Amino acid sequence: MSLTGNDAWPGTRPDSAWRHIAYAAARARAGDTVSIRGGDYGHEHVVVSNSGSPSAPIVFEGYNGTPVLNGGDRTGQGIFLSGKNDITFKNIELSMYLDCISVVSGRNIILENIVIRACGGLRSDGRGIQLERCTRSTIRNCEVTDAGGVGIFTTESYSCLIDNCRVYGTRTDIYEMDYYIVMSWATGNTIRNCTASNS
């Protein structure tokens, strides 16, 4: 992936890279690694269409700088997975969506080195990172700032790990974050080496 890419190209080498992350997410298959060159990719809604496998996950990884997705209007979802397994996202930044990353009914999902800034709608609305009905998934080395409703939210999820994450708020207006790390209707999960704070 590259800001100078073209979705009509093969997408198999840096000099024939695709342009849009959403385009790659609709096509990636088990064992594929989608390398995303750093830069501002703007207002994309990334929906992952396929699952990986335990031995051949699908990996979306920023390199040579941080790729940034900016929703711009605090609506919609930046990255969405539903019923998909064995997917990794790492080294990516998102901001200004209602829900920056939302995962529903996933297994072996890894979110690593993700930065979330200024997402969510009005007070109590929106999520930075959400795992719903997920198992054996990991949120590691992530930072969530000013997420509106909840910074990191897991519900009906089992055997998941939140490790070395920082969730904090700086706003005191209608976009003030209500909750920082929440686990509801969830068992067998671990929160380790995390901090939550506000201004």
* pLDDT score for 123: 62
Question: pTM for this one?
Answer: 0.95
Mean pLDDT confidence for 166-187? 89
Bigger pLDDT: 187 vs 110: 110
Q: pLDDT tens digits for 99-142?
A: 999 999 999 999 999 999 999 877 668 899 999 999 999 999 99
In tens, the pLDDT along 31-82 reads: 999 999 999 999 999 999 999 999 999 999 999 999 999 999 999 999 999 9
**Per-residue model confidence (pLDDT) at position 173:** 81
pLDDT on residue 63? 96
Summarize the confidence of residues 14-21 as an average pLDDT. 95
pLDDT at 149 over 70: yes
**pLDDT of 88-97, one tens digit each?**
999 999 999 9
Query: What DSSP letter does each residue of the chain carry, written as one string?
Result: --TT--TTS--SSGGG--S-HHHHHTT--TT-EEEEEEEEEES--EE--S--BTTB-EEEEEEEEEEEEE-SSS-SEEEEEES-EEEEEEEEEEESSSEEEEEES-EEEEEEEEEEES---STT--EEEEEES-BS-EEES-EEE--TTEEEEEES-BS-EEES-EEEE---STT---EEEEEES-BS-EEES-EEEE-
Q: Is the pLDDT of residue 148 over 90?
A: no
* pLDDT score, position 171: 85
Q: What is the mean pLDDT of residues 182-189?
A: 92
How many C-beta atoms surround the C-beta of residue 194 within 10 A?
16
In one-letter notation, the amino acid at residue 181 is I
What's residue 176's pLDDT? 83
| 55 secondary structure, DSSP code | T
